[in-house]
A = this chain, B = another copy of it.
């Protein structure tokens, strides 16, 4: 199903019914509203003006649209900030981050917590049982603009409290952090400082705890909103719209509050955010890289307990990347189908109509700026709606053959202590994901500790701290498992394991890592054996009791296996990565299709989808029944067969 994000407060009331009518005409079924409207709902303290929203909801509902209502907490109004400046967040250098845009609050402000509960309850009580409101979105894009973390007095107070709960005594804190180092010991929790503005680097265990605290604060804040909504909006779903490439908090943790996950998919802007080469950025500038949106679909399907929406789908050029090209014709439709293929229940475009004013005036909508006239994206949305209607209901999404274990704590740990400047966890994960999807395989993204039963192959690009639950899951997996570099290299308190890395995995893997090297650009180590290629960026020196499948040029083991538990002791270049993934698919008994760089496949139930992101045709290798498209998959085209 398709939807759209709409801002009735941006347009004269006289246009609402025309808009609602045209939404239905285009084939949309859902509409999200309200998430930035606080100043119009409560223009000053306790003066409420909900009447316009009542009428807007009625107009949309009467037109047959299902409404998702956002709590307005992402944009506290000026009168509230002026009355309570302690709501504001602080940057790492100690400056207040002020009013003037959005997300100007700290998750640790006590005042903010009370004010949020107040407005959420008022909104929830008013619309909780409205028949048109089918679901709720909490806040908007947690973590956007680096707002998970704040460095003010309220944050310090809350962090000390969090530490007191975690460690009970300063002695245990000192022990956990190894605070004897550099005389960092404290005599009381009130002596603890936030890990910023020190002369040089701060204790990594302290930094990790601060990151965990920040993540916990987001989850608890979300939980507070969810609890209020559940109390006053019975039977309605609750979701949150996550973002791409944000790792500042544990999305699985927030996801646990929700009925399902949503995310905001801007495939093109992300090409400039992810550390692609310049050549890749130019190559994918007008289509996006074929794995960026899919990876997030698979991630949020995992975060959402098997269900997800795209709450905001890019409908054309946007405004916020360093460069903002026009997507190639067909891409808005392709992205929509790609989301549906990965299991999206609803794909909701952002936004209905381009606004001629304010910060996002260069962000395309389904309609041209200020007008009742379809944009290119609007026309493609309509085409997709028609095709979707013709196809009938989509089958359920099944378990994928491959599980990829994704761990936010590893993202935090490697950012705190990269050891090599270009060791970027998100990059490693996406490269592994890309290599597997180039083999035509589907992937589920799962958190560490999740059951691995039923998978044919398990991939662990890196997992710095292996929890007991994760260890059990690996130990009981029947599929072959591949562990990447740095796995098991730290315990729960950021310590190197007494037995050296891979710590608790020593038994399963037979390995012991004695040295690691980060390799600057220009350094590389050849790898030869069952697989071959080159180690770049990172290599480990290890001994093994298992089988050595490939060795570094100096003879040290590079790729090992012990009873299906494989270890890759390097950051692989493209050739080595591809060879390793071919090898693992072979071990797993998974048949593969070698796809060109610009084509991807994906199954949903008994349907197979093919997508062409490139400039050359691709011949669909199927004997099945074509339901959409043709056997010759043209650029920017989609084919579906059963």
Contact = CB atoms under 8 A, between A and B. Distances in A.
Contacts of A369: 496, 500
Nearest to A88: B199
Contacts of A199: 89, 97-98, 100-104, 145, 147
Given A37-B183, A178-B358, A323-B523, 20 more contacts: A39-B183, A39-B184, A72-B183, A75-B184, A78-B187, A79-B191, A93-B93, A100-B193, A102-B200, A177-B358, A178-B356, A184-B358, A204-B361, A205-B357, A278-B522, A285-B522, A317-B516, A324-B517, A361-B494, A369-B500
Contacts of A362: 417, 419, 516
Contacts of A358: 177-179, 181-182, 184, 203-205
Interface in A73-109: 75-79, 82, 89, 93-104
A197 B79 contact: no
Q: Which of A147, A181, A286, A493 has the most CB of B within 10 A?
A: A181
A249 B286 CA distance: 37
A356 B496 contact: yes
Contact of A322 (B185, B281, B520): B520
14 contacts: A37-B183, A38-B183, A39-B183, A39-B184, A96-B197, A98-B193, A102-B199, A104-B199, A205-B357, A317-B515, A317-B517, A324-B419, A326-B515, A371-B500
A330 interface: no
Interface of A: 9-10, 36-40, 43-44, 72, 75-79, 82, 89, 93-104, 144-145, 147, 177-187, 191, 193, 195-206, 272, 278-279, 281-282, 285-286, 316-317, 319, 322-326, 354-362, 364, 368-371, 375-376, 417, 419-421, 493-498, 500, 514-523, 541
B200 A101 contact: yes
Nearest to A97: B199
Contacts of A354: 496
Nearest to A324: B518
A323 B515 contact: no
A505 B170 CA distance: 64
Contact of A78 (B37, B186, B279, B360): B186
B518 A323 contact: yes
Contacts of A316: 515
Contact of A361 (B145, B495, B518): B495
Closest 10 CB pairs of A and B: A178-B357, A282-B522, A100-B198, A181-B358, A39-B183, A356-B496, A75-B183, A323-B520, A326-B517, A178-B358
A509 B93 CA distance: 51
Q: Which of A101, A203, A316 has the most CB of B within 10 A?
A: A101
Contact of A518 (B95, B177, B281, B325): B325
Given A191-B82, A282-B521, A101 B183 contact: no
Contacts of A421: 322-323
Contacts of A9: 180
A495 B356 contact: yes
A584 to B, nearest CB: 27
Nearest to A418: B322
A573 to B, nearest CB: 16
A525 to B, nearest CB: 10
Nearest to A354: B496
Given A40-B183, A72-B183, A77-B185, A520 B325 contact: yes
A76 B185 CA distance: 11
Contacts of A417: 362
Given A324-B517, A358-B177, A376-B515, A100 B522 contact: no
A534 to B, nearest CB: 14
Given A317-B515, A361-B204, A98 B198 contact: yes
A203 to B, nearest CB: 6
B359 A204 contact: yes
A37 B182 CA distance: 7
A541 B326 CA distance: 9
Contacts of A78: 184-187, 191
Contact of A101 (B198, B285, B521): B198
A375 B514 contact: yes
A517 B97 CA distance: 32
A36 B354 CA distance: 52
B97 A198 contact: yes
A9 B183 CA distance: 10
Contacts of A206: 100
B195 A100 contact: yes
A203 B78 CA distance: 14
Contacts of A77: 183, 185
A197 B97 contact: yes
Nearest to A93: B95
A496 B365 CA distance: 14
Nearest to A325: B517
Given A421-B322, A498-B356, A98 B517 contact: no
Contact of A494 (B102, B196, B323, B357): B357
A95 B97 contact: no
A553 to B, nearest CB: 13
A36 B203 CA distance: 15
B93 A39 contact: no
A520 B285 contact: yes
A128 to B, nearest CB: 22
Contacts of A179: 39, 358
B102 A182 contact: yes
Given A180-B39, A203-B358, A355-B181, A281 B520 contact: yes
A570 B103 CA distance: 36
A631 B204 CA distance: 48
A43 B191 CA distance: 13
Contacts of A200: 101-103, 144-145, 359
